Structures are given as C-alpha cells and as structure tokens.
Amino acid sequence: MGVVYKATDTRLDRPVAMKFLSEQFSREPQALERFRQEARAASALNHPQICTIYDIGEHNRQPFIVMEYLEGESLKDRILKGPIPTEQLLDISIQISSALEAAHAKGIIHRDIKPANIFLTRSNQVKILDFGLAKLAPGQAGSDSTTLGTSAKTAMGTTVGTVAYMSPEQARAEEIDPRSDLFSVGVVLYEMATGQQAFAGASIAVVYDSILNRDPAPPARLNTSIPTQLDQTIQKALEKDRRMRYQHCSELRTDLERLRRDWMTGRSTFVQVRDVTPRITRVPTELEAEVIGGRSPKMAFFLGMIPGVGALYNAQYKKAAIHFVIFSALTALNSAVRAAESLESFFSFLVFGFWAYMVFDSYHTTKLRSKRVP
C-alpha cells in the first residue's frame, strides 16, 4: 500500500525515510484514513522500540509520512535464515513486549503484529512499524480518543490484520483488547524459535480453522535447543481463551526477563522430547548386516584366515598389527625348533590355535556390530 524512499532532511542534515501512499490507494478514503492513522498512532508514542514519526504531508496529492531512517533487516527476513538462537530471541522478544506495553498504556492496540512489521537494526535494536490498523482499547475513549480519530473503530463482523497472526477473537471479528496483541506476539515467538509458522495452511479457511480449533506442535518438539521455560511461555501466549493467556504485556516481559537471567546464569532447563514411535526388536538378516556399515560376517570369516586382515576389515587397526606380529613370531619360532620334535608339535599347535582365534574374532566382531542395528 505504501512505497518507502530514503531521503535527506536538509534542515537537520540527517537521513530519513519517506513513506508515500501509492497513487492507486490515495483515492480510496479507507486507505487514506489508515495511512493517516498510522502517523497519528505512532506519533502519540515515544518509545525507543517504536519507529519515530517526524512529519506528515502531501506532495502532488500523494500523502507521505516522514519517519526515522533504519538500517538492518525485517524480522521476517531474519527468520527465513532459520530459528533464532535463544539469547537473541529473548532480547528481541523483551524489546517487542516493552514497546507494546508502552502502546497499551496509551490505550493503543496494534492489531497487526507480525515479523514483517518488526525491524531489526544493525545495532540489534527492535523497531515496531506500521500502526495503520491500530485502534483504541475498549474503555479508552475520552481525551485519548483524539489520538486515532473516530474512524479507527472497526465495524462489527469485519476482520482486520494478517490472518496467520490473528488472535482467535480477532479471527471471529469480536471486540478485541490488548490481549489480542499478546497472542500475535506468541505467534511471532513461535516462529522465531522454530523457523515455522504456528498456523499455516493451503487456504485462508484452513488457517482460520487452525487458529480457532487446533494447537500447533510444541516449539520444543521442533527445536530441542530451546529451554523448557521458553516453550511454556510461548504456549501460554498462544492460549485460545484470552482469560488463560497473558493478561498484560508487563507479565510477558517479566517472564522473558526472568528466563534471560536464568539462561545467562545456566539455570534454564530443557524439554525432554520422547520418541513414542513403537520399535520392533529383531535380528537383522545377513543382507541387512552387509548393507549397514558395509561389513558382512561371512566376508569377515574368510578374511580372518589371513593374519591381521580380518581385524583390518573391522577397522581395528591396532588389533590387526598385534595379530600379525604374534602370528609371525609363532611361525618363526615353529620354524626355528623343527629340530626338536616335541617343541615343533607344541608350536605348530600354537600357530593353528592362534590362526583359529583370528578367524573366530573377525567373524564374531562383525556379527556383534550387525546386531546393534535396530
């Protein structure tokens, strides 16, 4: 709906971002009001994690907003690279909850919290963008109502926002309160922790059904590196019943800060994910034993007849050297004592016995290894 340009504030000699409403939308009253509403809502908030609005104006009948210029990437682009490490995830989450806490304190509900509306600067600072769908929380009329204007109210039965990040009450087009934003934050946390959307589907109808009736897989099942407390925090934020969810941003922020403290001091615990898939215990066939690991007991038997080679076949290099040395020594002694008939028989027996041992050891070692394959 908007196009953003980098510009220079010639009066203060600083870079700024100028967001113009696209020409096709500038003729639509609803889009125009949403654009102005974004400026009004964001300018009413003074918080380091909310993008600062400098000015609003119009050029050639095209409205524009002048805002602070940010360098970095959106959270959406960052998640595309994979799950975010726990320490960084906690830092981002705390900043998001802090910004929303300030907005909610002013009676402003964002209604469109999603990775695309969260920006990460090069200095690891979070900036929340796009308050175009913001509205006043119930019971916040009065002096604050001038912040957004009367048109900020949404008609009953109308849903606004991005479907995959809507709260259940938002999807049902019910009256919402700040707890709706907290559900959306939970969806964002889930995506940061797992790299996957909590609610996805081939159609909007499927996504709505997931939000309203289905629970996503526990984050720890998809990413076993996250601590138990984070898994529980995300699942609490994703409670479909808003009464069971976090009631205030301050509660979520406190839990995240406590978790960051425990993580930094090594006191975090981890979810033990059990594989409940039934296993069938069986002895592998000779063919399977040959395929797995590339070693066959039958081949080991025949190679074991050659001094040291059977052990080499089983990758037992020290044993192979020992076998070769011992067999060579016994053979040499047997040749040296041929003059003494009694000693010759004794050493011949030792040579044969050690040869038989090498064959058995090579075969038995390979057989044991093949049995370990499930």
Per-residue pLDDT, 301: 81
HEC per residue, the chain: CEEEEEEEECCCCEEEEEEEECHHHHCCHHHHHHHHHHHHHHHCCCCCCECCEEEEEEECCEEEEEEECCCEEEHHHHHCCCCCCHHHHHHHHHHHHHHHHHHHHCCEECCCCCHHHEEEECCCCEEECCCCCCEECCCCCCHHHHCCCHHHCCCCCCCCCCHHHCCHHHHCCCCCCHHHHHHHHHHHHHHHHHCCCCCCCCCHHHHHHHHHHCCCCCHHHHCCCCEHHHHHHHHHHCCCCCCCCCCCHHHHHHHHHHHHHHHHCCCCCECCCCCCCCCCCCCCCHHHHHHCCCCCHHHHHHHCCCCCHHHHHCCCHHHHHHHHHHHHHHHHHHHHCCCCHHHHHHHHHHHHHHHHHHHHHHHHHHHHHHHCCC
For residue 311, pLDDT beyond 70: yes
Distance CA 20, CA 124 (A): 27
Residue 142, judged by CB atoms within 10 A of its CB (0-12, 13-18, 19+), counts as exposed
For residue 277, pLDDT beyond 70: no
Q: Read off the amino acid at residue 73.
A: E
Comparing 17-26, 33-42, 140-149, 301-310, the range with the smallest average pLDDT is: 140-149
Per-residue pLDDT, 327: 84
CB neighbours of 344 closer than 8 A, spacing ≥ 6? 334, 337, 338
Instruction: Pick the more confident residue, 22 or 369.
Output: 22
For residue 163, pLDDT beyond 90: yes
Residue of 175, 330, 137, 167 whose CA lies nearest to 245: 167
Distance CA 46, CA 60 (A): 30
For residue 39, pLDDT beyond 50: yes
Report residue 95's pLDDT band, with 50, 70 and 90 as the boundaries: very high
The active-site residue, picked from 13, 55, 77, 112, is: 112
Tell me the pLDDT tens digit for each residue of 194-219.
Answer: 999 999 999 999 999 999 999 999 99
Distance CA 208, CA 161 (A): 13
Averaged pLDDT, 178-189: 97
Report residue 149's pLDDT band, with 50, 70 and 90 as the boundaries: very low
Tell me the pLDDT tens digit for each residue of 317-358.
Answer: 788 888 888 888 888 877 777 666 666 677 787 878 888 888
Instruction: Pick the more confident residue, 187 or 328.
Output: 187
Residue of 329, 347, 351 whose CA lies nearest to 337: 347
Instruction: Pick the more confident residue, 29 or 67.
Output: 67
Averaged pLDDT, 11-40: 82
Distance CA 117, CA 111 (A): 11
Per-residue pLDDT, 30: 79
Report residue 193's pLDDT band, with 50, 70 and 90 as the boundaries: very high
The torsion angles phi and psi of 108, rounded to 5 degrees, stand at -105, 125
Highest mean pLDDT among 13-27, 73-87, 340-354: 73-87
Residue 223, judged by CB atoms within 10 A of its CB (0-12, 13-18, 19+), counts as buried
- Domains observed in the chain: 2-68 (3.30.200.20), 72-264 (1.10.510.10), 286-371 (no CATH)
Per-residue pLDDT, 150: 40
Averaged pLDDT, 71-92: 96
Distance CA 126, CA 93 (A): 9
**Is 112 a catalytic site residue?**
yes
Per-residue pLDDT, 135: 80
Per-residue pLDDT, 139: 60
Per-residue pLDDT, 160: 64
Per-residue pLDDT, 132: 77
Tell me the pLDDT tens digit for each residue of 220-266.
Answer: 999 999 999 999 999 999 999 999 999 999 999 999 999 999 998 88
Highest mean pLDDT among 44-53, 307-316, 338-347: 44-53
Per-residue pLDDT, 142: 43
Averaged pLDDT, 156-165: 71
Highest mean pLDDT among 200-204, 298-302, 308-312, 339-343: 200-204
Average pLDDT, rounded, for the chain: 83
